[in-house]
Amino acid sequence: MLWSKSFIFTSKETPQEAEVRSHQLMLRACLIKKISTGVYAYLPLGLRVLRKVKEIIREEMHRAGAQELLLSTLQPFSIWKRSGRDTVLGKVMISFINRHGKRMVLGPTHEEIITELVAQRVKSYKDLPLILYQIQSKFRDEIRPRYGVIRGCEFTMKDAYSFDRDEDGLQENYQRMIEVYTRIFSRCGLSHCQMREADSEMMGGKSSHEFVLSLASGEEIELGHIFKLGTKYSEIFGGVYLDREGKQKPIVMGCYGIGVDRIIAACIEKHSDEHGIIWPISLSPFKVLIIPLGGSKQIEDYAFSVYQRLEKENIEVLLDDRQESAGVKFNDADLIGIPLRIIIGERNFAQGKVEINLRKGGKVQVDKERLVGKVQEMVNGEV
C-alpha cells in the first residue's frame, strides 16, 4: 500500500471523549471512527488488524476440530420467549416490529438459535460430539457504552457452542476450549491473560470461567467467557439424541465467547507507549513500513523497488511516499506502530546503507543489496 493513496489520516490531538489509551490511539491512528455512541466503523488500517485476529481465532478453532458457520443477525423475538431469556436480557436487546407485525431482535448472542438448529439435525449419539462457532456482529443496548470498542453496542464476537453426549464429553470440550483460548490470547500478544471462575447468571448455566486482563489503570477487561450450559437449552428446544441403547437423552452443551474487538483494544493497552502503538507482528496491519527521506529521485526509486520486491514476497508493506518532513513521518510511524521500519536517509544511502529500525527499540544498518533478504529473515523470525 502506498500511503499517499491510502485512507490513513492520523491525528495529533487526543480526542476528548476517549478516556483509555487504546481508544485514544485507535482513533488517532485512524483504525476506527465513531459513528454514534458505542458504534464504531473499522477503517482500512483497523480492518486489517481485525482480520488478523479473526484468522488467528479461526486457525485455533479449526485445530480443535470446530466448524465455522454463520447464523443470522436477525432473530425472531419468539425464540427468546421460549427460553425465557427475553426478561433476563430485557432492555439490552435491540428489537423492532417488522412491516408484517412480527417482533424481531438484532442478535445479542445465539444460544437459542443454535440449539434449535442442532436439535433439528442431531438424532443419534453418532452425531456427537460437535463444536460449531461463528464470528459475527452482536448487538446490545449497553447501559454505559464506553472505552471505544471495549464496550460497544455493536461488536464482533466469536461464539462457539459444544454439543456432547454427557458431562464427561462436555468436560473434555471445555478443557479443549481453555487450551484454544490460551493459544489465541498468547498469539495476540496477550499471554498475561488470566482465567478465573465467574458468574453465569445471564446464560443460566452451571459454571463459567472468564479470561481477564489487568490494565495499568488497575481495571480489568474481560476478553473471553466460557460456560458449562448443561442441558438447559437442549431441554427447552428438544435437543435430544438416541444413545447406544436407543434411549433418548438430552444433549449436554457448553458455550464459549471471545470479544474480538476487545482483543485489539487489550493488545494496544499492553503494547503501546506515549508515542503510539507497538504492534506484535501477529496483529500488525502491515509488517513493514518503508520511510524514504530527503526526496531525491534516487532514494524514491530505491524505496519503490524495495516496496515492489517485498510485495512480491507476500510481505505486507506500507510505503510512506508522502511529501512530508522526516518529523511528520517518524511521528506517524510511531503512532501507527508497524514493528519493522526501513529508513532510507540521504547520508546512509550515499554510503550504500539503509537502516532497519524496530518500533519496540533497536536498529541495524544493512547494505542496500542485502536489505530485502534481511527483512525477510526478520519477518520470518517474527522480528
- The residue ranges that bind ligand ATP (CB under 6 A) are 109, 140, 142, 151-152, 155, 157, 222-225, 257-259, 261-262
DSSP-based three-state secondary structure for 139:
strand
Identify the CA nearest to 307 among candidates 287, 326, 290.
290
Least distance CB 272 / ligand ATP (angstroms): 19
261 binding partner (options ligand ATP, Mg ion, none; Cβ < 5 to 8 Å by kind): ligand ATP
Residue 224, binding choice from ligand ATP, Mg ion, none, Cβ under 5 to 8 Å by partner class: ligand ATP
**Binding site residues, Mg ion, CB under 5 A:** 225
Q: Smallest gap, in angstroms, from Cβ of residue 257 to Mg ion?
A: 7
CB-wise, 265 or 340, nearer to ligand ATP?
265
**Closer CB to Mg ion, residue 149 or residue 291?**
149
Residue type, 169: G
Residue 157 contact partner, candidates ligand ATP, Mg ion, none, CB within 5 to 8 A by sort of partner: ligand ATP
Helix (H) or strand (E) holding 118: helix 111-121
The three-class DSSP label of residue 178 is helix
Helix (H, G, I), strand (E, B) or coil at 50: helix
Please give the single-letter amino acid code of residue 382: E
Angle at CA of residue 365, ends 323 and 292, nearest 5°? 10
CA gap 226, 177 in Å, rounded: 8
Residue of this chain nearest to Mg ion (CB atom): 225
**Amino acid symbol at 98:** N
Nearer to ligand ATP, 151 or 341 (CB): 151
Backbone angles phi, psi at 370, to 5 degrees: -90, -5
With respect to Mg ion, which residue has the nearer C-beta, 48 or 225? 225
Query: Smallest distance, Å, CB 291 to ligand ATP?
Result: 34
Instruction: Report the nearest approach of ligand ATP to the CB of residue 257 (Å).
Output: 3
Q: Closest separation between CB of residue 94 and ligand ATP, Å?
A: 12
Residue number with CB closer to Mg ion (154 or 332): 154
Q: How far is the CB of 146 from ligand ATP (least distance, A)?
A: 9
Cβ atoms of 254 and 174 within 8 Å: the answer is yes
Question: CB 158 → ligand ATP: shortest distance, Å?
Answer: 8
Cβ distance 303 to 344 under 8 Å?
Answer: yes
Q: Which C-beta is closer to Mg ion: that of 138 or that of 271?
A: 138
Identify the three-state secondary structure at position 120. helix
User: Which among ligand ATP, Mg ion, none contacts residue 189 (Cβ within 5 to 8 A by kind)?
Assistant: none
Alpha-carbon distance of 342 to 330, in angstroms, equals 11
CA distance 189 to 261: 14
Q: Is the peptide bond before 129 cis (omega within 30 degrees of 0)?
A: yes
257 binds, among ligand ATP, Mg ion, none (CB under 5 to 8 A by kind): ligand ATP
Residue 39 or residue 130: which is nearer to ligand ATP going by CB? 39
34 has which bridge partners? 40
Residue 28: name its binding partner from Mg ion, ligand ATP, none (Cβ under 5 to 8 Å by kind).
none
